């Protein structure tokens, strides 16, 4: 993990994108994640804090400790929390693979958009399991870029998405991890593993979702790796532009866009 590369980079634009993503998907992704009063919750890999607020505001009585390996991301997360001033969490700079906590101490562990970037998500889950109390629950949320489909269909757009998947794989990650949360959690030893797909469907009857998700979340994420894709010679600049135009085309009056996130839960055996 210490050597892992975060495929999306740490730019300010990226930080904004992640906040937009959290805002438009809040209810779908986090609305049913409520931690009990008095529970101790670890958010493993909080990044710029885009999700921290969402889980914190549903669970005022819980104590949330959010950790991340990037000092820069953590400082953005702390600033965000200070600016908004309506939820509380503690932020700690540390690696998921060397957590400074007692074993068996957390009631819940929340992991969102983290495993997709790790070379060893299976080992990360084994590690996190140690810090969960027996009977405690892990909640994992990940996307799956292979779940994206749209109208008009376009091989140009699909080629761009494949570039993102390849770059993430080259950095040691897996952009198709959503579909494999079930075996990952089972193999790590969690019991009662349940996986809930959360599909996002956007058409022009919901312009704010088209803008907030198709354009400013998904297409913006793909656009963010354009330079890398071209400089890695995965694609030419012209092809890349064609793909972006095709993704933007799905935001038109007659366009539609689908993407599936996966939310998985598992229990540490007593």
Q: Which residues bind a copy of itself (CB under 8 A)?
A: 144, 146-147, 149-151, 153, 176, 179-180, 182-183, 186-187, 193-197, 199, 201, 203-205, 254-256, 258, 260
SS3 11: coil
SS3 82: helix
Question: Residue 90 or 254: which CB sits closer to a copy of itself?
Answer: 254
Output the smallest distance, CB 197 to a copy of itself, in A: 4
Question: Residue 61 or 152: which CB sits closer to a copy of itself?
Answer: 152
Torsion of Cα atoms, 160 then 224 then 258 then 80, to 10°: 170
Q: Which residue has the tokens 């532009």?
A: 241
Output the smallest distance, CB 153 to a copy of itself, in A: 6
Output the smallest distance, CB 142 to a copy of itself, in A: 12
Sequence-ordered list of residues with C-beta below 8 angstroms from that of 21, at least 6 positions apart, any chain: 50, 213, 217
Buried b (16+ CB within 10 A) or exposed e, 72-87: ebbebbbebbeeeeeb
Question: Residue 136 or 178: which CB sits closer to a copy of itself?
Answer: 178
What radius of gyration do the chain's Cα atoms show?
18
Distance CA 109, CA 115 (A): 13
Q: CA angle 51-168-24, nearest 5°?
A: 30
Buried b (16+ CB within 10 A) or exposed e, 42-58: bbbbbbbbbbbbbbbeb
Q: Between β-strands 106-112 and 132-142, what pairing exists: parallel, antiparallel or unpaired?
A: parallel
Question: Residue 204 or 232: which CB sits closer to a copy of itself?
Answer: 204
Question: Residue 40 or 195: which CB sits closer to a copy of itself?
Answer: 195
Output the smallest distance, CB 195 to a copy of itself, in A: 6
Output the smallest distance, CB 149 to a copy of itself, in A: 5
Output the smallest distance, CB 219 to a copy of itself, in A: 16
Question: Residue 74 or 200: which CB sits closer to a copy of itself?
Answer: 200
Distance CA 116, CA 238 (A): 29
Output the smallest distance, CB 83 to a copy of itself, in A: 36
Q: Between β-strands 132-142 and 149-151, what pairing exists: parallel, antiparallel or unpaired?
A: unpaired
Question: Residue 65 or 175: which CB sits closer to a copy of itself?
Answer: 175
């Amino acid at each position: 993990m210490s050597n892992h590369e975060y495929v999306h980079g740490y730019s300010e634009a990226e930080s904004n994108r992640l906040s937009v993503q959290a805002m438009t998907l809040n209810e779908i992704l986090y609305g049913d994640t409520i931690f009990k009063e008095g529970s101790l919750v670890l958010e493993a890999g909080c990044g710029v804090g885009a999700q921290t607020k969402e889980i914190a505001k549903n669970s005022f009585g819980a104590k949330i400790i959010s950790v991340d390996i990037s000092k820069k991301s953590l400082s953005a997360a702390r600033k965000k929390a200070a600016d908004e001033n309506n939820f509380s969490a503690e932020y700690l700079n540390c690696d998921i693979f060397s957590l400074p906590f007692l074993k068996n101490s957390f009631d819940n562990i929340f992991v969102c958009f983290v495993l997709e970037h790790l070379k060893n998500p299976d080992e990360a889950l084994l590690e996190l399991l140690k810090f969960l109390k027996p009977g405690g629950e892990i909640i994992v949320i990940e996307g799956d870029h292979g779940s994206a489909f749209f109208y008009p269909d376009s091989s140009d757009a699909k080629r761009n998405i494949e570039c993102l998947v390849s770059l993430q794989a080259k950095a040691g990650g897996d952009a198709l991890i959503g579909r494999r949360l079930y075996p990952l959690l089972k193999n790590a030893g969690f019991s009662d593993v349940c996986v809930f797909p959360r599909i996002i469907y956007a058409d022009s009857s919901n312009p704010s979702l088209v803008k907030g998700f198709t354009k400013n979340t998904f297409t913006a994420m793909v656009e963010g790796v354009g330079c890398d894709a071209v400089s890695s010679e995965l694609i030419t600049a012209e092809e890349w532009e064609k793909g972006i135009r095709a993704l933007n085309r799905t935001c038109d009056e007659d366009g539609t866009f689908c993407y599936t996130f996966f939310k998985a839960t598992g229990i540490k055996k007593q």
